[in-house]
Structure 1
């Protein structure tokens, strides 16, 4: 499924955004649809592995969008210069295809994109920020990794500069996952990763003060307890800025939706959704 986007495109269907969908199973529960937004280096495919079927089985129409230049979307040739603002435009285009405002669920960079889209007035029923880039930016955690885990930071640079085929998969395992994946799954996931927009990466390093004010929809902030990229202290900061208590996925790393025990994260998201929908 695709929705039209404006601007240059290359890769995927030209000028179009990939929108994956798992239809709600059983009797409709009257809940709004869910729209998952991936993080840097990924695509909508990361949600299809586990989360889209999981939430569809629980009565939600579950969707995932690939931002321009990612997954099966157009714009691959232009992704190096895409900004967070461009990605927010993509999300607005995807939301416009819905008959009712969806719940926006953003992971990592996708959380920053959701935040920006909401401040522009994109319609949503609620928002879930999952291991998301905080409004304070990533410069502090970059410094922390440089001092404590420089090899992991190096591998991120390898992924960005040379592509997934050059990444040390053992280091990728440590960076993204708290639980041991099978070699087959690890190769599959790292092989589907891709370089990210250099501009968007630079923007994520900078704080967005005081732009954290102004999100009017109900919000949940969820962190992964063993996340090296968005550690718990950053999650607590983000939750404080949104005025909510943080929720935690136990024993999970940054890519919680792909962990062997991915159900732990899905259950935390499901619990948050139940409470957010009641607040509408």
Structure 2
């Protein structure tokens, strides 16, 4: 019996048999990458793409922290594995990219949505608690950034039955949904850019990006990205998001994310100048929430880690990571 099947059988005692469907558009791992499956508290299995560095610094005072990546809606671990995992592993960092439940190669819960802000954050926390030996840097994109924010708000919370939330070395919020959610973004678009508001609503809420190359490019990427590359990512996005990440009504009702007064955690708030989804006001809100100045990368779109100039954001993060030693 394989390890994968063994996990499935043992999990039957805790949950009804879950659905695991491989994508019909598979993501082929790059050299040095491996795919593992981590069993989360619900008994389901979460895909993790791992790329470890051959030259990581292990010194206790100046060690390079492990990097744990959390994707947003319509994405999965592969979105980090394409460019940023090779980049950061070559720069001396062990990298772990997670696929949240119902996304990528992860198992699907027996529900209409993949989870809540709380359950997704708990799954991330459980992975870190059981697999990462030293405090990592948590990196979240878009709605994944909101999950990271909830993780931060849970640090040291004695009210939680099981405080799985381990100490972090830092956090990076990439084109993140702000702490209050996406409601403010939508209303600003409706009032100031009604055409853009219709496009972004049709593209994301109605999944219009799945059937239109031009709309997919406008939503996630720069104009300079070639259509055949957009099509490849479009297919992966469609296959990766078999069920919604959240129930947005319930999510917005649970927001804003709790504040963390007097927190010493270092946070980098990183935005993209050509972001079609998160506007400058949303970026500013997130930065003010953590008491930092936002960094906005020029000539890059929402999917900063996949865009034509993906190295721009990666270089900013690398410089920030090196500053953690100071």
Match of 1:108 in 2: 142
- Bigger helix fraction: 1
8 Å Cα contact 2:153/2:257 also seen in 1: no
Preserved CA contact (<8 Å) 2:200 2:277 = no
The runs of 5 or more residues in structure 2 that have no matched partner are 22-36, 38-42, 156-164
CA–CA distance in structure 2, aligned partners of residues 246 and 141 of structure 1: 17
Choose which of 256, 269, 275 in structure 1 pairs with 2:317: 269
* 2:65 paired with 1:32: yes
Is 2:74 the counterpart of 1:41? yes
Q: Distance in 1 between matches of 2:289 and 2:266?
A: 13
Aligned CA RMSD, in angstroms, stands at: 2.6
Conserved 8 A contact 1:36-1:105: yes
Aligned length: 274
Q: 2:218 aligns with which of 156, 165, 174?
A: 174
Residue of structure 2 equivalent to 1:140: 184
Q: Which residue of 2 aligns with 1:22?
A: 51
State the partner residue of 1:72: 105
Describe the shift of the 1:179–1:269 C-alpha distance in structure 2 as closer, same or farther (beyond 3 A): farther
- Runs of 4+ in structure 1 deviating by more than 6 angstroms, as ranges, are 1-6
Give the one of 103, 113, 118 matched to 1:85: 118
Change (3 A) 1:269 1:204: farther
* Equivalent position SS for 1:80: coil
The Cα of 1:268 is off from its aligned counterpart by 1.2
Equivalent residue number for residue 54 of structure 1: 87
The DSSP-based 3-state class of the residue aligned with 2:215 is helix
Aligned counterpart, 1:10: 19
> With structure 1 as the length reference, what TM-score do the two structures score?
0.88
8 Å Cα contact 1:34-1:61 kept in structure 2? yes
Q: From 167, 170, 175, give the equivalent of 1:131.
A: 175
User: Partners in 1 of 2:124 and 2:202 — Cα distance?
Assistant: 30
Give deviations 1:228-258, integer Å, cap 9, x for gaps.
Answer: 2111121111101100111121111111111
Cα pair 1:136 1:206 within 8 Å, conserved: no
Q: Distance in 1 between matches of 2:128 and 2:317?
A: 20
